[in-house]
Amino acid sequence: MKLPKWLRKTLVVAITACTFGLVTPPSSLMAADEPTTDDARSSDWPQGDRGPQTASVAAESAAQALPVTRQQFIEQTMEKAARQSYEKFGRKIAPVIEDEFRDVILPRIEEVIASLAEQYPEEQLQYLAVTENPSGGMGERIFHIYRVDNGEDIIRFHVRREHPPQDGYWFQFHYHTYHDGFQAHYELGKIYWDKNTPPQWRT
């Protein structure tokens, strides 16, 4: 049976006081509350993909992290970007488009990320992070890059389906930036799918 937090604290204080600190309270009384697996996987927090941390906790973690160089930031961000992209594509779409995505789209994403890295002093790059859980179904989100200290998005990388008349389906990759309130579409490239309707994302 799990004791209430207040009772555990009371017992720790009582044991320490009664034994003049000679007896260490059991570790089960001193353990901090850990989130359950279900809590850790919950997507009910704001933005749905940044975890249950508040901005202040995330910022504190970032401040304690080892600083990164621009090149390290680019490499680490690209690794996460590729992982989130393939997770979004799912098992049905990824095998069809992965070669063209790797050869055409990923290098352009890297150019954008490298340009972003140039806009920040190296000591601030540790405050930039990549979101997880790309949208499924018909959603466009692949991943966003945001500031962990205030939770605000900097760049949003998306992909949308296009079906021009008398043509098949295309995947149009693009990004938005905070500079214009994420209104403009900056195209990264297109990949042709087929004349048949593509599966939903993450399937």
Question: Each residue of 142-164: pLDDT tens digit?
Answer: 999 999 999 999 999 999 999 99
With cut-offs at 50, 70 and 90, classify the pLDDT of residue 85.
Answer: very high
Does residue 147 sit within a domain?
Answer: yes
Does residue 151 sit within a domain?
Answer: yes
Does residue 203 sit within a domain?
Answer: no
Q: Which domain holds residue 122?
A: 70-194
| Averaged pLDDT, 92-96 | 97
- Exposure class string for 44-55: b at 16+ Cβ within 10 A, else e: eeeeebbbeeeb
Largest CA distance in the chain: 84
* Count of structural domains, the chain: 1
Query: Quick check: pTM over 0.85?
Result: no
pLDDT on residue 179:
95
Does residue 107 sit within a domain?
Answer: yes
